[in-house]
Structure 1
Amino acid sequence: MRFIASFLIALPALAHALSSPDGQLQVDVSVNAQQQLVYTVQRAGEPVLLPSRLGLVLAQGDYAHGVKLVSASKVKPHREQYTLAASKKRRVDVRANEQTFSVANAAGQPFSVTLRAFNDGLALRYTVPGAGRKQFQDELTSFAFPPDARAWLQPMSVAKTGWKRTNPSYEEHYQMDIPAGTPAPSHAGWVFPALFRSGANWVALTEAGMDGRFHASRLASDSTGGTYRIGLPEASEVNTHGHLLAQVDGPLTTPWRVLAIGPLKTVMESTLGTDLAAPAVAFDPAKLQPGPASWSWALLKDEGTVFEVQKRFIDHAADMHWPYTLVDADWDRKIGDAKMKELADYARAKGVGLLVWYNSSGAWNDTEYSPKSALLTPADRAREFARVKAIGIRGLKVDFFGGDGASMQAYYLDLLKETAAAGLLLNFHGATLPRGWSRTFPHLMTVEAVKGFEFATFTQEDQDAVVRHAAMLPFARNLFDPMDFTPVVFHDIPNIQRATRNGFELAESVLFLSGIQHYAETPEGMATVPADVKGFLRELPRRWDEVRFLAGEPGRFVVLARRAGTQWFVAGLNADDTPREVPLDLAWLGRRRGELITDGAGPREFASGRLAAPAATVTLAPHGGFVARFR
């Protein structure tokens, strides 16, 4: 505490302080000696963020320098309740305190900063009022961490690099437990969500409230001294002939800058990423059915996209009681509309719905898979949606987007709005982080935006890295938003030596959240597992009501509990090369006994047993895992 006391004495008098409903989180806002708007964040009296900048620069005015605080609104409670179609919680109760600070720049132009303080974090956004065009140029928002802070960050890939110039797709491995301020590998910076440890507290940074008018952001590459700034997309991250940065007629309101803050358990159970998203649009609840899908491409690749193989995977889905089968790229050329209708009719008779793949791209990459460039205009989309609905298709997987510029964000929003109107489910691949869209558009079942399982089938290097990568994802990428990692393989991967044990693979089915979970295992591979494992995957709930973080360390191990109705499912995995014993507090389960499935003696073997509440210790094998079901 001596550090923060001496630190605050050096500041000008604090202008305003906003606290969370429980009083634990405090945000102080002031104008410093350089006439810059700054804020600090403390939790339970400990510094989380040191003085950090606020402000914007537009072509029509500089709202970051020479500023003065004009007034502050009264603190008002923010209360909200909403439901999620498929996420860590079904029903969410939002409680926060909100305050808006009116500010003027050196030219007397007004703007405001709105802050919401939650028990589990903080959000802020800017509004510039008035009529006329407003053209965004820069944002000065920063996050200044104390000197000993640590970071777990995914690098942003450089635009127009990688296979067929398809980057950025949020498909990099994380740099874990690095000093805050470590330079990014390239000028492209770091992606959201970004995870930090600041003293006794953890901080997950992201953004939300993306309505298609604003570009998506990231953390800038330069974080000298542990101060991270909002970064901008690269110039090429646009729709063909589209614009990069936000251009708004009338008042400009930015997306929310979101900080989940607290002990690791608080951050892991937080829903701030969807709390700050817009309410849900209308969608027919009868069509809004989450659940698993069979998918041939994960292991069979392009050769599997043929009629007979897809028919076999429909049978696989029906046998596993899964509601979907995904037919991937080139279905239009390899199978064709007539045979696809035959497949859809066959699937429907077995209680399975078909999903089909589309290539989003215009001229922004060099991909050749089809259907390509078929969704670029409203007329294109209306024609294709009518086409697939006539075939009997339930939803689309749209791939190979071009980045985070404002025009590309507008393209995403057009797809979201128009598929909602058409009653089609949606999955974005080769895509940006959804930033809370799954609340606003409940038919957005999942989004890739991750270095998913497919990479672990391409090279042994990526396979070996997947163990720690998978142990990182619940703490960052999958923290708020659905993630299409395409998990679970128990048998062979062609030309690859699998690094994970079977218990690790099974645990992913509970740990990873996705409205439609596309399982990678084939019918032949699933035939090799015991009946209780197959039964577990058949009966796994399709929606979750509640989550509890039980234990974990990003990139090392994780144990979570998820509730569906009166049942609880506990799952964990271990990325270390040595066994790990994890004591679990299961007091809320009373004295129930759970059915345990974990690793056997060999990497391809399972073992069954019991896990007893109110307290238990699980032993996780190296690269192993477990699941337990409490009925």
Structure 2
Amino acid sequence: MSFCPAVVFLWVACACCLAGAAQSPWSVSSPDGALVLTAEGGAAPTLRVSRGGQPVVPPSPWGITTRRQGPLPGGLQVAASTRSVVDETYVMPTGKRSRCRNHANQLTVDFASAEGVRFSVILRAYDEGVAYRYHIHGSGEDTVTGEASAFRIPAGSRCWSAPFSKSYESIYQENAGFAGIQHEIQLPLLCQFPGKQWVYLTEASVDGTYAGSRLKVLDAAAGLLGLQLADAPTAALPWTTPWRVLLVVDDLRQLVESTLINNLNPPSAIADTSWIKPGTAIFPWLTGTEGGGGPCHRNNNGSLERMQEFVDLAATMGWSWIEFDNALALDTPFGGAPEKWMDCPWFPQLTAYAGRKGIAVYGWDHVCNLDTPEKRQTQLDWYVAKGFKGIKVDFLDSDVQARYRLREDLARDCAARHLLISYHGDITPRGMQRTWPNIATHEGVIGEEFYHGFGPFAPSPAYNVNLVFTRNVAGSMDYTPTTFDNPGKNHSRSTTNAHEIALPVVFESGWQAMGFNPESIKLHPQACAFLKDLPSTWDDVRLVAGQPNEFAVVARRKGGDWWIGGINAASARELRLDLGFLAKGTHACTLYHDAPPPADSAAVAPLDTLIAADPLTIDPAQPLVIAVPANGGFGFRIVNGAQ
């Protein structure tokens, strides 16, 4: 597949006259006319958002301060304003859908002083959200010392947030108001406002010229949250900052299905993407760590013979990748120095064996082995020479400017060698996959590796549901699902097995790293039947139904087939699902779901639950009714179900 987007940029109503441009406020509306982003100037500039003529986001501060220029726009006068239409389509080898449309209206307001200082604010409105960014004109270098960018959350809003952590591994949970919150809040933040609109706050198009942001409570009583930069970025002028993003929707389907965050990023820097072929993978480490932990009680990466068993399993399941944690194979803590493992003779034997089976292998390395150009040349050339097709880079653990620059350097240097890359111990994505489509996935989530006890929390059913509406909206998520065994070092799994098989459909990741092993898979034939030939790249997505804290049902299309997965939280419920997006007529398939517990058992632990497989006939003209137990789930595949 070559990256050849069809692009149309329409520039209209250019360069309003000085007198007309000086009039504040300035507004831009979405293509469908429903959303309006309005900016006010003056001594305390504000932005506000309305939907359908009704106020949604109250007036909220905007502006930026640099070391050379001070607060902007400050006392600058409006010089001109320019309206434009953005309308383009582009292709993605990963993500929610293979073809994306970037369609928005844009307004650029230019400010200037008699001394020649120039500054612009760029406002953009999509059907499902709005965004704004700053452009600092001039030459030389400057440093951003802070932003006034902030958001007012109305009283009475419900919010789902996670405390900031450097690896973005925190629990999303609901909170009412911000009183008493002293910690920073990581992006994204999801809110349901009193008017029932859903508002999702994040940022997009952060690169090596800037730093990442998080939210800080500035005034709990007023619901005012300010953007805080990870550090003070410095760059050459002219300088365009990242987008500050608010998705504003009436229906959660618009949120979950949106590609707005990717849309706001630059087009692919890779001209020919035909070699970029992510896929479903097996993650041997998850069930057998380098210390002999996990249900396999061994280092699954520790021998050629053991890893060949996982390659055979991937081939049997019709999956195209396997992760091999080469730097951990010799029990070196955190990978150790590369010279301790680079000469291991059986590494290229493994990649050759996998290649003969049609399985690609990606490796693992610590970021400290790749953080300079010289190290990257040595290490990445080694991976290519040994037959690896990709690499997981771990422990990035930062969103300062230097780390964003390193992410770009890693993606660029991997692309030059036709290597895919995954960022582990990493941030919630900001849409970088559009520019560097060889990025298969990011972590930035508490996934199933946390059952090993890497912290005070592990995934709960409600947390899994909330990820659908928070973390995974932003981009690919390396959650590593389907741990049927319980690693159980410090935490126990509370999901049912049917909940587990639904996760790789409900969650999107270019490398969907599965927790299967050759032993446990024999105990779960129904799981194998459902997940055989599972894709990890998709042509389309639908949120069928769902609510934070409660349940989520997601449908993903590959070619003519729809895969549908549902997960439930703490309360049993009966779901009535509208499948009107399917082709007309009846569709026969198999429903994989939680089997009823044995009659003689008062309580069945999640690890003892069975998966039932029952024939199912679906008529898209009628609601599909499915009963789901607490913490349960289900999945089914409709072959040739696309319209």
* TM-score band w.r.t. shorter chain: 0.7 to 0.9
Counterpart CA distance in 1 for 2:624 and 2:24 is: 48
The code of the aligned residue for 2:465 comes to: A
The code of the aligned residue for 1:260 comes to: L
Match of 1:114, SS state, is strand
In the other structure, the counterpart of 2:310 is: 313
Deviations 1:39-79 (A, max 9, x none): 11011122221111110000011234744551452422111
Deviations 1:563-583 (A, max 9, x none): 11221122111011x211111
- With normalisation by structure 1, the TM-score equals 0.88
In the other structure, the counterpart of 1:474 is: 468
In the other structure, the counterpart of 1:249 is: 236
Q: CA deviation at 1:439?
A: 1.1
Q: CA deviation at 1:213?
A: 1.1
In the other structure, the counterpart of 1:572 is: 566
In the other structure, the counterpart of 1:298 is: 286
Q: Quick check: 1:560 aligned with 2:554?
A: yes
Counterpart CA distance in 2 for 1:438 and 1:548 is: 21
In the other structure, the counterpart of 1:179 is: 176
Change (3 A) 1:90 1:65: closer
- Contact 2:215–2:227 (Cα < 8 Å) also in 1: yes
In the other structure, the counterpart of 1:385 is: 380
Match of 1:384, SS state, is helix
The one of 167, 170, 174 aligned to 1:169: 167
Pairing 1:41-56 to 2, within 5 Å after superposition? 41-56=49-64
Q: CA deviation at 1:321?
A: 1.8
Q: Quick check: 1:448 aligned with 2:443?
A: yes
The one of 9, 18, 22 aligned to 2:32: 22
Counterpart CA distance in 2 for 1:149 and 1:350 is: 53
- Structure 1: gaps (5+ residues): 1-12, 158-167, 234-243, 362-373
In the other structure, the counterpart of 1:121 is: 129
Counterpart CA distance in 1 for 2:85 and 2:612 is: 51
Counterpart CA distance in 2 for 1:570 and 1:268 is: 15
Q: CA deviation at 1:528?
A: 1.0
CA RMSD of aligned residues (A): 2.2
In the other structure, the counterpart of 2:164 is: 156
Pairing 1:102-117 to 2, within 5 Å after superposition? 102-104=110-112, 109-117=117-125
The one of 75, 78, 90 aligned to 2:86: 78
- Contact 2:160–2:189 (Cα < 8 Å) also in 1: yes
In the other structure, the counterpart of 1:160 is: none
- Structure 2: gaps (5+ residues): 1-22, 293-298, 330-337, 598-605
Question: Which segment is superposed worse, 429-438 or 270-279?
Answer: 429-438
Match of 1:281, SS state, is coil
Could you tell me the percent identity over the aligned residues?
A: 33
Counterpart CA distance in 1 for 2:213 and 2:240 is: 15
Question: Which segment is superposed worse, 319-328 or 454-463?
Answer: 454-463
- Contact 2:428–2:444 (Cα < 8 Å) also in 1: yes
The code of the aligned residue for 1:257 comes to: R
Pairing 1:274-289 to 2, within 5 Å after superposition? 274-282=262-270, 285-289=273-277
Q: Quick check: 1:131 aligned with 2:124?
A: no
Q: CA deviation at 1:97?
A: 0.6
In the other structure, the counterpart of 1:515 is: 510
Deviations 1:517-555 (A, max 9, x none): 11012121111112x531321222232111111211113
The one of 404, 425, 432 aligned to 1:430: 425
- Contact 2:484–2:515 (Cα < 8 Å) also in 1: no
In the other structure, the counterpart of 2:353 is: 346
The code of the aligned residue for 2:86 comes to: H
Match of 1:112, SS state, is strand
Q: CA deviation at 1:376?
A: 2.1
The code of the aligned residue for 2:168 comes to: Y
Counterpart CA distance in 2 for 1:474 and 1:542 is: 16
Counterpart CA distance in 1 for 2:86 and 2:591 is: 42
Q: CA deviation at 1:279?
A: 0.7
Counterpart CA distance in 2 for 1:460 and 1:246 is: 31
Q: CA deviation at 1:611?
A: 5.0
In the other structure, the counterpart of 1:330 is: 328
In the other structure, the counterpart of 2:218 is: 222
The one of 175, 193, 197 aligned to 1:201: 197
Match of 2:374, SS state, is helix
Q: Quick check: 1:493 aligned with 2:491?
A: no
Q: CA deviation at 1:98?
A: 0.5
In the other structure, the counterpart of 1:403 is: 398
- Contact 2:429–2:474 (Cα < 8 Å) also in 1: no
Aligned residues: 580
Counterpart CA distance in 2 for 1:19 and 1:69 is: 24
- Contact 1:64–1:105 (Cα < 8 Å) also in 2: no
- Contact 1:64–1:140 (Cα < 8 Å) also in 2: no
Change (3 A) 1:72 1:628: farther
Change (3 A) 1:115 1:627: same
The code of the aligned residue for 1:558 comes to: A
Change (3 A) 1:284 1:23: closer
Counterpart CA distance in 1 for 2:341 and 2:110 is: 60
Counterpart CA distance in 1 for 2:533 and 2:208 is: 38
Q: CA deviation at 1:137?
A: 0.2
Deviations 1:121-175 (A, max 9, x none): 0011000101121111000011112222221111102xxxxxxxxxx10001113
Match of 2:346, SS state, is helix
